[in-house]
């Protein structure tokens, strides 16, 4: 899978664009021959973990710190069907507001630019000991990231 530039948005500094390339595999399709609806969520999740990794945040570092990302709401808008062999890019843009949650806006786009799906998720960072959302997820991401700009954040 390849990482490619796309769009990212934040309320801090402008984020570096980020997207990850994926090829639709035959076993991900359903009896109608198009990408199964649940796989869009897997593609979105893959892009989210990819941008965290690209920013320098390792999953093991989050576990050591006893925090982890959680999704509290997801909306998917299906625009065009995808079939086995289609090449797509899944973008990942963090949209920051105030408080414990933030949004991640994602677009699944074919190589010719056709939008196949739009995914919008409300997320947070969970304290794995207290089982509550962190009050300031931006601070935690800034602390862990080598390049917080990929997450739409300034360094400090």
Question: For each successive 10 residues of the chain (156 residues), what is the average pLDDT?
Answer: 37 60 97 96 97 97 97 97 98 95 97 97 98 97 96 84
Burial class (CB in 10 A: 0-12, 13-18, 19+), 25: exposed
Structure tokens belonging to residue 149:
């700009």
What pLDDT does 7 receive?
36
Q: Is the pTM of this model over 0.85?
A: yes
What is the per-residue pLDDT for 155?
72
Residue 141, classified by CB atoms within 10 Å of its CB into exposed (0-12), middle (13-18) or buried (19+), is buried
* DSSP state letters, 42-102: HHHHHHHHHHHHHTT--HHHHHHHTEEEEEEEEEEEE-S---TT-EEEEE-EEE--SSSEE
The per-residue pLDDT for 154 is 84
pLDDT, position 17:
62
Helices (H) and strands (E) in the chain, counts: 3, 8
pLDDT at res. 123: 98
pLDDT digits (tens, 9 = 90+) for 86-97: 999 999 999 999
């Amino acid at each position: 899978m390849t990482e490619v530039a796309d769009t990212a948005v934040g309320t801090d500094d402008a984020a570096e664009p980020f997207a990850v390339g994926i090829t639709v595999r035959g076993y991900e399709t359903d009896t109608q021959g198009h990408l199964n609806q649940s796989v869009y969520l897997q593609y979105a999740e893959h892009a989210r973990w990819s941008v965290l990794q690209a920013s320098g945040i390792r999953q093991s570092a989050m576990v050591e710190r006893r925090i982890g990302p959680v999704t509290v709401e997801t909306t998917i808008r299906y625009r065009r069907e995808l079939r086995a062999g289609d090449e797509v890019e899944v973008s990942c843009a963090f949209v920051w507001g105030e408080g414990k949650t933030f949004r991640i806006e994602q677009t699944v786009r074919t190589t010719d630019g056709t939008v196949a799906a739009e995914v919008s998720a409300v997320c947070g960072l969970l304290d794995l000991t207290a089982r509550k959302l962190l009050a300031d997820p931006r601070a935690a991401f800034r602390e862990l990231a080598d390049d917080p700009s990929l997450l739409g954040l300034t360094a400090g």
